[in-house]
Amino acid sequence: MSQKLAEGNRESASPRPASRRGGKSVNCLLIVIAATALVCGLGIIAGRPLLEDVLPRSPTPTLAPVIHQVSMADLQNVAKLVSTEYYLVDEVQYTQIPDNVAQYLGFRREFLALLYGTVAAGFDLTDWPLEDNLWQDGSQVMLKLPPPQVLYVDVDFERSHIVDTGGWCPVGCPEPVTDYMEKALPEAEGNLKEQAIKYGLLEQTARSGRDYFSHFLTSQGFTDVRVVVDGYIYE
């Protein structure tokens, strides 16, 4: 004990450069700050479920008044006849890996989202000249419709949601919502459209369009009605 004290005194008595002493104390300080931050961070993460139980619960968190500002970007007169809609769901899974050195620390975050949406198909009659596509003679009429197409994909935001988030990525990863908004949604729209076409949306649209117009023209008093859809043959 006395020897240790003596050694300590000897050490402290020996002269050292001031800058080196300062550097060491800064390092110590940094280590202490880092350790404190780590402990606090781990404490918050680990204690969050516990805190959520202990904290006074509000029945429902209040949603502050929403501010909206709307501006018109474009207005179009169109003639789009929607004849078939498919309601589908797409499962989107994302893994975020930092694009810097943090990736070597094993940081990663995953999220899974379910995106529901309606894919609507029909006929765009906006630039469809009647004189080239409709022939009428007495009680006979023939109508030629353009090929059916997907007119829009409408994501159901009320039902769509991020189902799960996993992993741990304190630095280097974008927030899940950013990827959700910028990558998952556009991708989901494409996937929903692709799935709908695969399940025969366009064929069904062609069929229902032909049936609809046949019925419409018959109700106008025409007895000989023929409706054809460009690119589709139905007997």
Q: How far apart are CA 28 and CA 35, in angstroms?
A: 10
Angle between helix 185-198 and helix 201-219 axes, rounded to 10 deg: 70
**Looking only at residues 22 through 51 of this chain, which bind other proteins when binding is defined by CB under 8 A?**
44, 48, 51
> Residue 122 burial (CB < 10 Å; 0-12/13-18/19+)?
buried
Contact criterion met (CB below 8 Å) for 121 and 201: yes
Could you give the angle at the alpha carbon of 115 between the alpha carbons of 112 and 116, nearest 5°?
150
Binding-residue total with other proteins (CB under 8 A): 65
Considering the complex, state which of residue 103 and residue 118 has its C-beta at the smaller distance from other proteins. 118
Least separation in angstroms between residue 230's CB and other proteins is 18
Question: Tokens 């918050």 identify what position?
Answer: 44
Residues in 176-235 at the binding interface with other proteins, rule: CB under 8 A: 176-178, 180-182, 185-186, 189, 212, 217, 219-222
If the CB atoms of residues 18 and 130 are measured against other proteins, the closer one turns out to be 130
Edge-first strand order for the sheet with 134-137 is 134-137, 140-145, 224-229
Which is nearer to other proteins, 103 or 165 (by Cβ)?
165
Backbone angles phi, psi at 65, to 5 degrees: -55, 135
**How many whole angstroms separate alpha carbon 139 and alpha carbon 202?**
30
CB of residue 22 to other proteins, shortest distance in Å: 35
Distance CA 140, CA 224 (A): 5
| 89, 97, 162, 228: which one binds other proteins (CB under 8 A) | 162
Shortest Å, Cβ 63 to other proteins: 5
Which of 84/107 has CB closer to other proteins?
84
List the one residue from 10, 130, 198, 235 that touches other proteins (CB under 8 A).
130
What amino acid is encoded at 187 in this protein? E
Of 92, 141, 201, 227, the one binding other proteins (CB under 8 A) is 141
Which residue type does 167 have? G
Taking the complex as a whole, the smallest distance from the CB of residue 26 to other proteins amounts, in Å, to 29
Name the residues that contact other proteins, by CB under 8 A: 44, 48, 51-52, 55-59, 61-64, 66-82, 118, 120, 125, 130-131, 134, 136, 141, 151-155, 157-158, 160-162, 165, 175-178, 180-182, 185-186, 189, 212, 217, 219-222
